[in-house]
């Protein structure tokens, strides 16, 4: 495991040593994919600025993941050009502009591995490329002049599948970035817990998260979910109330940070009251740890998801939320009322990373288990995958109403549900790096090291 000093979290030395092998591996697998799919070279666009309708402003920029795997740059209209056997080239967009500050030509731990060409505009980028791009595959959105560039294929599906399939396997460099993203995110979570305990509103908690992980919202891998009380029952809650509710019973915060283009995705649930909801958080934490203990190379992720439902059925029974045994709970589908999302997903350059269903680059997709439409990962785990483990248990009004209306309602102890519904729900989410014998819990490791550093 590479040593990583993150106090303060910084672009530390080990990255320089890890980036070269990462890039060498990326070049090799890209060359193999290009050959298998009949392309001679690859051209990847970082992305275009998206204008706001009827204004001359743009939305915050986010580089495309197929570009970010090459370079942590977050600058629009840059290109990576890769011809197997040659040093990759970065065409760096460097316009003359007095309205906006233009990013300086990059000089960082990764730049020595590229031939970098400064391009004031797209025409200069085209001029810096070979005249004939007829055998080059392009990855990215269309832009105005792309049709005249003469690229042989735009976003060819087969090549993209080959590249996405291998993205699931993280290099030591990528794991180092993911560790740092976890440490940054954990600093945010620790601050969020403090502000919750001090009586802060959702808005106050979100600002504390940002300040502590040292990022503005547009730098995060996804918009934080900061939900007090019943709001925790909304899976992707985005409101951020400015007023503290009275009483403020519980906090569910799902928020991560980004480092080098790589995301952390972390959820914690807290309550201010001792009692049944606190006990339920304790049970869900133990359940989550039991699931983490099952993770190792060779495990079918669909089985982990189904096992999560089995364990949730036990928790529902022990907490007296249902009146039936585990087998009847599973057969009836009542666990889906309380846990309606997938148990986890691939994590990396995207928070829900690409390639979660692929049997093989050309091998079709692996179906989800029947009746589990929201599972985002069906592959068998390999050493080097990074996944989230995120069991939950929620009191979601429309799902409870649907259960009441069908046969499942008779299995539910409604007075218990009514007592716990004001707390919203629970989710506990960690990021796991899969190994041959188990996994490294990047999130719990970060909580330990950040607590020790305080
Ligand atoms: N934060 C989104 C998720 O947990 O999948
Ligand atoms: Mn997640
Ligand atoms: Mn999450």
Beta-bridge partners for 89 = 81, 115
Do residues 88 and 221 both lie within one domain? no
Q: How many CB atoms lie within 10 A of CB 422?
A: 15
Give ion ligand 2 contacts, CB < 5 A. 265, 388
Tally of domains within the chain: 2
CA of residue 168 to ligand 1 center, whole Å: 17
Atom of ligand 1 nearest to the CA of 222: 1
Beta-bridge partners for 358 = 365
d(CA 312, CA 338): 8
SS3 content of the chain, % helix, strand, coil (to 5): 40, 15, 45
Residue where one domain finishes, among candidates 94, 120, 155: 155
Do residues 247 and 394 both lie within one domain? yes
pLDDT digits (tens, 9 = 90+) for 154-199: 999 999 999 999 999 999 999 999 999 999 999 999 999 999 999 9
Please report which confidence band the pLDDT of residue 6 belongs to, taking 50, 70 and 90 as the band edges: very low
CA of residue 254 to ligand 1 center, whole Å: 7
Do residues 149 and 177 both lie within one domain? no
Comparing CA positions, the residue from 330, 342, 370, 365 lying closest to residue 429 is: 342
| Mean pLDDT for the chain overall | 96
Supply the CATH number for residue 97's domain: 3.40.350.10
Please enumerate in sequence order all residues whose Cβ is within 8 A of that of 205, keeping only pairs 6 or more positions apart, or say none. 192, 195, 196, 226, 251, 253
Checking if the pLDDT of 11 tops 60, the result is no
- Spell 65-102 as b/e; 16+ CB within 10 A means b: bbbbbbbbbbbbbbbbbbbeeeebbbbbbbeeeeeeee
Q: Stretch 343-360: mean pLDDT, rounded?
A: 97
d(CA 347, CA 429): 12
Half-sphere exposure of 300 (CA within 13 A, CB side): 9
Q: Which residues lie with the beta carbon below 6 Å from any ligand 1 atom? A: 222, 254, 265, 351, 390, 429
276-292 and 301-318 helices, crossing angle to 10° = 160
Domain contains 5: no
| pLDDT score recorded for residue 363 | 85
Handedness of CA 187, 188, 191, 193 (dihedral sign): negative
d(CA 248, CA 422): 10
Checking if the pLDDT of 7 tops 50, the result is no
Do residues 320 and 403 both lie within one domain? yes
Do residues 221 and 337 both lie within one domain? yes
Checking if the pLDDT of 112 tops 80, the result is yes
d(CA 247, CA 7): 36
pLDDT digits (tens, 9 = 90+) for 371-423: 999 999 999 999 999 999 999 999 999 999 999 999 899 999 999 999 999 99
Do residues 198 and 260 both lie within one domain? yes
pLDDT digits (tens, 9 = 90+) for 21-46: 999 999 999 999 999 999 999 999 99
Residue where one domain finishes, among candidates 123, 155, 187: 155
Q: Stretch 7-22: mean pLDDT, rounded?
A: 76
Comparing CA positions, the residue from 427, 414, 398, 394 lying closest to residue 233 is: 394
Q: Whose CA is nearest to atom 5 of ligand 1?
A: 352
Beta-bridge partners for 439 = 434
Q: Stretch 423-446: mean pLDDT, rounded?
A: 98
Do residues 138 and 187 both lie within one domain? no
Take residue 89 and report the two structure tokens written for it: 């080239």
What burial class does residue 395 get, using C-beta atoms within 10 Å of its C-beta: 0-12 exposed, 13-18 middle, 19+ buried? buried
Please report which confidence band the pLDDT of residue 453 belongs to, taking 50, 70 and 90 as the band edges: confident
d(CA 139, CA 78): 12
d(CA 291, CA 310): 11
* Local structure of residue 243 (DSSP, 8 states): S
Do residues 233 and 337 both lie within one domain? yes
Do residues 373 and 248 both lie within one domain? yes
Do residues 205 and 301 both lie within one domain? yes
| pLDDT score recorded for residue 13 | 61
Q: Stretch 316-343: mean pLDDT, rounded?
A: 98
Tell me the residue range of the domain where 136 lies: 40-155
pLDDT digits (tens, 9 = 90+) for 114-143: 999 999 999 999 999 999 999 999 999 999
Domain contains 116: yes
| pTM beyond 0.85 | yes
Domain contains 26: no
């Amino acid at each position: 495991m590479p040593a990583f000093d993150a106090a303060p979290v910084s672009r530390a030395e080990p990255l320089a040593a890890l980036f070269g092998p990462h890039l060498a591996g990326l070049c090799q697998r890209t060359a193999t994919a290009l050959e298998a799919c009949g392309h001679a070279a690859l051209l990847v666009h970082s992305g275009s600025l998206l204008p706001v309708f009827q204004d001359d402003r743009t939305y915050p920029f986010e580089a495309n993941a197929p570009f970010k795997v090459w370079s942590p740059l977050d600058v629009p209209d840059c290109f990576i050009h890769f011809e197997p056997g040659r040093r990759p080239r970065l065409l760096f967009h460097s316009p003359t502009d007095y309205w906006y500050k233009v990013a300086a030509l990059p000089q960082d731990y990764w730049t020595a591995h590229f031939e970098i060409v400064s391009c004031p505009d797209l025409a200069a980028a085209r001029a810096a490329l070979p005249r004939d791009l007829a055998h080059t595959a392009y990855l990215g959105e269309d832009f105005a002049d792309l049709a005249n560039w003469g690229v042989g294929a735009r976003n060819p599906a087969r090549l993209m599948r080959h590249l996405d399939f291998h993205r699931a396997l993280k290099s030591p460099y990528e794991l180092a970035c993911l560790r740092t993203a976890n440490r940054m995110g954990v600093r945010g979570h620790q601050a969020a817990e403090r502000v919750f305990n001090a009586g802060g509103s959702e808005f106050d908690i979100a600002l504390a998260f940002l300040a502590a992980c040292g990022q503005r919202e547009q730098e995060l891998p996804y918009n934080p979910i900061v939900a007090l009380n019943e709001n925790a029952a909304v899976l992707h809650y985005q409101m951020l109330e400015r007023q503290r509710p009275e009483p403020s019973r519980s906090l569910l915060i799902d928020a991560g940070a980004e480092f080098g283009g790589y995301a952390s995705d972390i959820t914690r649930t807290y309550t201010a009251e001792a009692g049944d909801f606190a006990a339920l958080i304790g049970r869900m934490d133990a359940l989550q740890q039991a699931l983490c203990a099952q993770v190792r190379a060779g495990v079918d992720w669909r089985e982990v998801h189904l096992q999560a439902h089995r364990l949730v059925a036990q928790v529902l029974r022990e907490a007296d939320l249902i009146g039936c045994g585990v087998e009847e709970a599973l057969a009836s589908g009542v666990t889906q009322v309380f846990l309606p999302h997938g148990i986890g997903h691939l994590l990396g350059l995207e928070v829900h990373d690409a390639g979660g269903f692929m049997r093989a680059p050309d091998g079709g997709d692996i179906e989800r288990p029947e009746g589990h439409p929201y599972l985002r990962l069906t592959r068998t785990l390999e050493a080097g995958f990074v996944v989230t483990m995120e069991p939950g248990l929620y009191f979601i009004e429309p799902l409870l109403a649907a259960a009441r209306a069908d046969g499942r309602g008779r299995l539910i102890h409604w007075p218990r549900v009514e007592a716990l519904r004001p707390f919203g729900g629970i989710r506990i989410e960690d990021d796991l790096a899969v190994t041959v014998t188990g996994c490294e819990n990047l999130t719990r490791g970060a909580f330990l090291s950040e607590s020790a550093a305080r």
